[in-house]
A = this chain, B = another copy of it.
Amino acid sequence: MLIVMKADATERDIAEVERRIAELGYRPHTMPGASRTAIGVTGNDRPVDITRFETLPGVAEAIRVTKPYKLVSLDLRPDKSVVRVGDAEIGGDELAIIAGPCAVESREQVFAVAEAVRRSGARFFRGGAFKPRTSPYAFQGLGEEGLKLLAEVREAFGLKVVTEAVDEASADLVDRYADVFQVGARNMQNFSLLKRAGRSPHPVLLKRGLSATVDEWLLAAEYVMAEGNYNVILCERGVRTFTQHTRNTLDLAAVPAVQRISHLPVVIDPSHGTGKNHMVTPLARAGVAVGADGLIIEVHNQPELALSDGAQSLTLEQYGQLVQEVRAIHEAIAHAPVG
């Protein structure tokens, strides 16, 4: 169920609705919007009696939700969500750029890359300290030591840190050192981790699984939000298909598909989405042109020496050029003549 408050509903009206919901053993999720506040209800295992709420002061409407998702939906929040990360944001007017190496390898590496990222005007730094690797014998990341290096980068360059957690223990550390809690593609339906992300104090960047439908992806976001963390950023990073010219097939139509259903911002990962250096910039341009809110890009100061994903990492120079190109496109769309 979803309760839409009138435009002139008071804080007290809202609090009273919340109280009534809690009284029934359910959980209220209050989403203030530009013109009105809506309150989602979860935790009910059967339909809620709508009439209980329709007559409360300040309530415009109580709506039965028939779709599988509630909190991610435009029904609950018709305005687009802007996720705030300190003084930066994702989903607003500015194009969000998240850049950095696949894996944190050394202080020298992260500082060299972070300097270039900062110089480009980007606000977010990515880098993995816990790497989910297909083989148990591959480099699995520096762990907490890597997170400390990322925290140093934040201090030195003022960049917000985006990094992945893979389980309970790493989640605690990510909460401590990072600014954005990333859930990787392979864990998109690791529901325990999603619930844990929902209890993080940080916004969550949720990558789409390799064979996830848009519905499954939104329901994964719903898992996070149902725990009370409404700051979710979706990330399209390519799906698995029969094609062989790329490691994954970047599904850019997922962006308008999401935007038709959900208020959540979406960013594009053309690095994992293609797996090939020479395709990252063209697909980054396409991602911005399709209407994504941002990009997440792998950059390395020495891609040929990278401990993971070197083949898809941009050099610092390539990255600088990419930023100029995508900004030009972002600008062009913003000012495109409206028919």
A→B interface (CB under 8 Å): 42, 45, 68-70, 132-137, 166-168, 186-187, 189-193, 210-211, 213-216, 219, 222-223, 226, 239-246, 249-257, 260, 273-274, 278-279, 282-283, 285-291, 317, 320-321, 324-325, 328-329, 331-333, 335-339
**Contact residue among B187, B244, B290 (Cβ-Cβ distance under 8 Å from A282):** B290
Query: Separation in Å of the A274 CB from the closest CB of chain B?
Result: 5
Residues of B within 8 A of A42 (CB): 136-137
Can you add 14 more A-B contacts, CB < 8 Å, to A45-B137, A329-B332?
A68-B135, A70-B137, A136-B191, A167-B193, A211-B242, A213-B244, A215-B244, A241-B251, A245-B257, A285-B289, A286-B289, A289-B290, A324-B339, A328-B336
Q: Are B253 and A133 in contact (CB under 8 A)?
A: no
Bound state CA distance, A132 and B192, in angstroms?
9
Query: Separation in Å of the A78 CB from the closest CB of chain B?
Result: 16
Residues of B within 8 A of A251 (CB): 241, 243, 249
Bound state CA distance, A242 and B133, in angstroms?
19
Residue of B nearest to A44 (CB): B137
- Can you offer 6 A-B residue contacts whose CB atoms are under 8 A? A132-B189, A253-B279, A282-B291, A321-B339, A325-B333, A331-B332
Residues of B within 8 A of A223 (CB): 136
Residues of B within 8 A of A244 (CB): 213-215
